[in-house]
Amino acid sequence: MRNFDEHNITDAALDRFRDTPDARLKQIMTSLVQHLHDFVRDIELTFEEWELAINFLTRTGQISTNKRQEFILLSDTLGVSMLIDAINHRMPAGATETTVLGPFYVQEAPELPNGSDLSQGLEGEPLYVEGSVEAADGTRLANAIIDVWHSDKDGYYDVQRPDLDEPTLRARFRANADGRFRFWSIQPASYPIPSDGPVGQMLAATRRHPYRPAHVHFRISAEGYETLITHVFVAGDRYLDSDAVFGVKDALISDFKREAPGVGPDGRAIPTSWRRLTYRFGLKPLTVDPAATTDH
């Protein structure tokens, strides 16, 4: 087949994948080509715009390192990451909604006893977190593993601060026999995603801000259940309706209640105001009746 033009090039490109032995790969490649050609045809892409796009993708790859993945950031800011998350996490009633993992998760965070303080002396308004881990049907899950991490009062994670030598504002806990866990930390703040690269330039060019609303990350696992990756967002944050990575869901917004100075739930003396978060987490079983699931 020769003499390709705007009317026959798509069919010709699709035909080149007809002998792909992997059926799933064939489905992906043919759909990609079809949608990509339709996109180019729809907007009548110019050579200058094509060159700009190639340059953008090249720079996105060049700035990526083992500590920074600009392509994931691009996926996040285009809503693709949350779309994939929604497709892959259709949850039954009683299970907590999921959201993106984010770039600041660290494997094998230090395991600490319940009631520990994650702040390592960092300044900030004290925050007391107490939670329960349950199956979707309400059964308490003893010994569930809970990884937590969040930003400091200025919006920075420990991995972004060269002055911190040890993991800070992150830890791993195990739920007790009643599925409960608790810890002290400091109130997190809203913060910008990295905006000094191609993705930041895209946001600026489209008059989008780079901010995420304040939240605490949770990664919770228990034998026989899907690992839950989610956030709990601070109610009233100014960026809840414009999260740069589309991660906010109403069910994940909670009141970080401000308490007066005095004595904390565990008897700790607190001379200043402090915050309290109480949240119930529900896990989806590894096998679930499809009829019981609901789309996000």
Per-residue pLDDT reduced to its tens digit, 42-72: 999 999 999 999 999 999 999 998 778 899 9
Residues 107 and 253 in one domain: yes
Same domain, 13 and 111: no
- Residue 157's pLDDT is what? 93
- Confidence band (pLDDT; 50, 70, 90) for 162? confident
In this structure, are residues 68 and 110 in contact, taking their beta carbons and an 8 Å threshold? Answer: no
172 and 250, same domain (yes or no): yes
At which residue do the structure tokens 């994931």 appear? 72
Q: Is residue 263 domain-shared with residue 164, that is, in the same domain? A: yes
Same domain, 111 and 210: yes
Residue 198 domain boundaries = 80-294
What's the number of domains the chain is made of? 2
Quick one: 88 and 40 in the same domain? Answer: no
Is the model's pLDDT at 132 over the cut of 60? yes
Is 65 a domain residue?
Answer: no
Judgement on whether residues 41 and 89 belong to the same structural domain of the protein: no
- Which residue is associated with the tokens 């007790």? 176
CA–CA separation, 72 and 152 (whole Å): 23
Residue 108 pLDDT more than 90?
A: no
Residues near 221 by beta carbon (within 8 Å), at least 6 away in sequence: 144, 145, 227, 228
Whether 96 and 223 map to the same domain: the answer is: yes
Is there a domain that residue 117 lies in?
A: yes
Per-residue pLDDT, averaged over 112-137, amounts to 96
Say whether 280 sits in a helix, a strand or coil: strand
pLDDT tier for residue 290 given thresholds of 50, 70 and 90: low
Distance (Å, whole) CA 292 – CA 285: 12
Provide CB contacts within 8 A for 98, sequence distance 6+.
85, 89, 91, 228, 229, 230
Residues 16 and 98 placed together within one structural domain of the fold: no
Residues of the chain with pLDDT > 70, as a percent, come to: 97
Q: Of 274 and 67, which is predicted with more confidence? A: 274
Q: For the residues 256-283, what does the mean pLDDT come to?
A: 96
CATH of the domain at 186: 2.60.130.10
Whether 41 and 95 share a structural domain: no
Both 137 and 197 in a single domain?
yes
* pLDDT at residue 289, rounded to an integer: 56
Question: Looking at residue 296, what is its pLDDT?
Answer: 44
